[in-house]
Amino acid sequence: MDRAQYEAERFFYHSPVTLYSVSKLFNFNPDVDDEKVDVYRRSLMKILRKRYHVQDNSLTETLTIDQDIEWMTLPANSSLTLHFIFIHGVDMNRIHRVCLATDNDSNSGVLLTSCSHLMANLICEWIEKTFDCQIHPLPISDQFLLQQYKDYLSRSLENDAIADSQLIFSTPTAKPDLRTISVSLPGEDMSQIYRRIQDKDGSSIFNAILQYIHREANLDLNRFKLERVNCGGFVMTTTGKIKFFRQYYTFDQLIDLVFGLLQIALGKMI
């Protein structure tokens, strides 16, 4: 395993990431050489040092950084390149992690951040100004969520065990005291459901789960929207937040998932 792949695995398995879509990057070459990396590091550091302290009436957050900014480029496949930015802070040796995944044809991409809200805002600001692009939060459809859950169930059964899962639904009511409903799904029951309809798509799995919940808990959730899945492979929300667990994702499977997120950002996948 080379250094870039090692750092990539550290990034994905380290902590939750937040997703953003990135429009076409101008004057950006996916094959970033050492000279360009040095230019990018200096310009990014300039923004970070300019915004060293940020304060307002509702939030006080101090950003403390030193001179160490690492940039690593990893060609993932013929269509996808991963650019990892690691910013080393002096506050408790914290490392702010960012991954810019770019489509090699369109130069558009998806940004994954594992850092404070302040740092994410500063990095988005730098990318927008440097490459004349626009960055927006990237939501995930419940269909994509369900497909990832189906894939998790399939991989788990290969190991003869499915851990308990939790699905969280948003309610169709505006009542402030009932915004979400959380449903726990025993692993043994999910194994039986999946074995019955494993050749079907994520929507079929979901319908079978809804029938199971209605039968076991007398809850009709057909009008409710799935917004989060907590399982042994990942935690994923429709608002674009993900945490991966190493035991259920090989590196190649992570690359496939990031490629899927890129397709969502490009508007090629729901």
Backbone angles phi, psi at 169, to 5 degrees: -115, 145
Question: What DSSP designation does 77 have?
Answer: S
* Contact indicator for 86, 268 with CB cutoff of 8 Å: no
Cβ neighbours, 10 Å, residue 154: 12
pLDDT tens digit sequence for 162-185: 889 999 998 876 565 667 889 999
Residue 62 pLDDT: 56
Mean pLDDT value across the chain: 83
**pLDDT tens digits, one per residue of 227-244:** 999 998 899 999 999 998
CA distances from 145 to 35, 141, 231 (A): 40, 6, 12
Summarize the confidence of residues 9-18 as an average pLDDT. 83
In this predicted structure, what is the pLDDT of residue 59?
46
Write out the two tokens for 14: 């380290």
- Amino acid in position 206: F
Burial 95-129 (b: 16+ CB within 10 A, else e): ebbbbbbbbeeebbbbbbbbbeeebbebbbebbee
pLDDT at position 161: 77
Mean pLDDT of 87-94: 65
What is the model's pLDDT at position 136? 96
Percent of the chain with pLDDT over 70: 84
Length of the chain equals 270
Q: What is residue 130's predicted lDDT score, i.e. its pLDDT?
A: 94
Q: Which of 60, 172, 165, 155 is nearest to 116 (CA)?
A: 60
Percent of the chain with pLDDT over 90: 34
CA count, 13 A, side-chain hemisphere, 32? 23
The residue-averaged pLDDT of 95-101 equals 90
pLDDT in tens, 241-255: 999 887 777 888 888
The token pair that represents 188 in the structure block: 């043994």
Task: Write the single-letter amino acid at 55.
Answer: Q
Q: What is the pLDDT of residues 118-162, one digit of tens each?
A: 889 989 999 999 999 999 999 999 889 988 998 888 888 877 678
The dihedrals phi and psi of 78, each to the nearest 5 degrees, come to -65, -20
pLDDT tens per residue, range 19-31: 999 999 999 888 8
Cα separation values, 52 from 21, 46, 58, 125, 208, Å: 26, 10, 18, 14, 52
Residue 225 · residue 239 · CB < 8 Å: no
Q: What is the rounded distance in angstroms from the CA atom of residue 200 to the CA atom of residue 256? A: 20
Q: How does residue 7 score in pLDDT terms, banded at 50, 70 and 90? A: confident
Structure tokens at 108: 């558009």
pLDDT at 231: 92
What is the pLDDT averaged over residues 25-45? 86
Residue where the block lists tokens 């489509």: 103
Please tell me the distance from the alpha carbon of residue 133 to that of residue 106, in angstroms, as a whole number: 12
pLDDT at residue 1 tops 50:
yes
Helix ranges, 132-201 (H): 142-158, 187-197
**At 57, is the pLDDT very low, low, confident or very high (cuts 50, 70, 90)?**
very low
Q: State the pLDDT at residue 219.
A: 87
